[in-house]
């Protein structure tokens, strides 16, 4: 059972690529840190884009999430600071891409990340949130994230067929809840790459809110050139251009998340 000083563990997941998953993980993490929350980002994507986007060079990724899953390093030793105050990361490398094959004979393969993040000593690290950046697939890594997490945030691109893949993700969440993690819930769906001038974005939002109701965050993440540029400078958009529309949106999303999770903690 989760106690008051345990961090809230949230997986950022969508099996579809290019929906703003890593962008959301990085910038939501930075926005939470700006709100004086201590945040740990777990990069569980073999591409390691979250690590690169937070300025962790490949030659500085001495301990990685692969080492964490393999049991070769403790969580405390794998954590690296970033240039953002109160935001830390466990970086990833392409070693993770072989995880499916490496773990196939491990009977606890779906519980490896849970065993690390739900251990009794994690509370002593004093993180408020742990965000897991999942790969764009429903493989063993994403299942590990779902088994470890309290909840999931689903970035949903404001485009045609956006809701089509959501049913498969919801089915996977249901299966994980029934077999491995009864408390797993969808924290919310975050509409990304939203253009209020585009009728398609408006239609996707209407459809999402009609079908998913309060599960859809009130905050929408706009298409914003600053959001696209920030990763090439290896910083969150809040650092790159604090006054941009992208920064404002992720600040709003962070406040909304804090409000939701605080209510749940009190309840």
CATH number reported for the structural domain that contains residue 222 in this entry: 3.40.50.300
With beta carbons less than 8 A apart as the criterion, state whether 186 and 151 touch. yes
Question: What is the structure's pLDDT at 160?
Answer: 75
Written as tens digits, the pLDDT of the chain (267 aa) is 455 578 999 999 998 888 999 999 999 999 999 999 999 999 999 999 999 999 999 999 999 999 999 999 999 999 999 999 999 999 999 989 888 777 777 888 999 999 999 999 999 999 999 999 999 988 899 999 999 999 999 999 888 777 777 888 999 999 999 999 999 999 999 999 999 888 888 998 998 999 899 999 999 999 999 999 999 999 999 999 999 999 999 999 999 999 999 876 654
Kind of pairing between the strands at 151-157 and 39-43: unpaired
> What total number of domains does the chain contain?
1
The residue count of the chain comes to 267
CA atoms within 13 A on the CB side of 97: 5
Does the residue 2 lie in any domain? Answer: no
The string of pLDDT tens digits covering residues 11-64 is 999 988 889 999 999 999 999 999 999 999 999 999 999 999 999 999 999 999
Characterize 141-164 residue by residue with b for buried, 16 or more Cβ atoms within 10 angstroms of its Cβ, and e for exposed: bbbbbbbbbbbbbbbbbbbeebee
Question: What is the structure's pLDDT at 245?
Answer: 97
Does the residue 3 lie in any domain? Answer: no
- Tally Cβ neighbours within 10 Å of residue 40: 24
- Give, in degrees to the nearest 5, the angle at Cα 151 between 178 and 227: 140
- Helices 140-148 & 166-179 angle (0-180, nearest 10): 60
Does the residue 66 lie in any domain? Answer: yes
Cα–Cα nearest to 77, from 92, 64, 95: 64
Range of the domain at 207: 8-266
Does the residue 1 lie in any domain? Answer: no
Does the residue 96 lie in any domain? Answer: yes
Question: What is the structure's pLDDT at 3?
Answer: 54
């Amino acid at each position: 059972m989760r106690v008051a000083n345990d961090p809230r563990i949230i997986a950022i997941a969508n099996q579809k690529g290019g929906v703003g998953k890593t962008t959301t993980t990085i910038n939501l993490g930075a926005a939470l840190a700006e709100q004086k929350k201590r945040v740990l980002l777990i990069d569980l994507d073999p591409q390691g884009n979250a690590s690169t986007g937070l300025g962790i060079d490949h030659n500085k990724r001495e301990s990685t999430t692969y080492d964490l899953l393999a049991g070769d390093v403790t969580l405390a030793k794998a954590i690296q600071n970033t240039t953002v105050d109160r935001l830390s990361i466990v970086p990833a490398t392409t070693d993770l891409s072989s995880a499916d094959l490496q773990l196939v004979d491990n009977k606890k393969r779906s519980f490896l990340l849970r065993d690390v993040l739900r251990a009794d000593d994690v509370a002593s690290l004093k993180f408020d949130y742990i965000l897991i950046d999942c790969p764009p697939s429903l493989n063993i890594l994403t299942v590990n994230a779902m088994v470890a997490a309290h909840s999931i945030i689903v970035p949903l691109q404001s485009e045609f067929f956006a809701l089509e893949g959501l049913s498969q993700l919801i089915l996977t969440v249901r299966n994980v809840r029934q077999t491995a993690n009864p408390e797993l819930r969808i924290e919310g769906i975050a509409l990304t790459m939203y253009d209020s001038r585009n009728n398609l974005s408006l239609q996707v939002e209407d459809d999402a809110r009609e079908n998913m109701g309060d599960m859809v965050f009130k905050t929408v993440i706009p298409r914003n050139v600053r959001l696209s540029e920030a990763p090439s400078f290896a910083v969150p958009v809040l650092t790159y251009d604090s006054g941009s529309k992208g920064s404002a949106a992720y600040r709003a999303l962070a406040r909304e998340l804090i409000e939701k999770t605080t209510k749940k903690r009190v309840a």
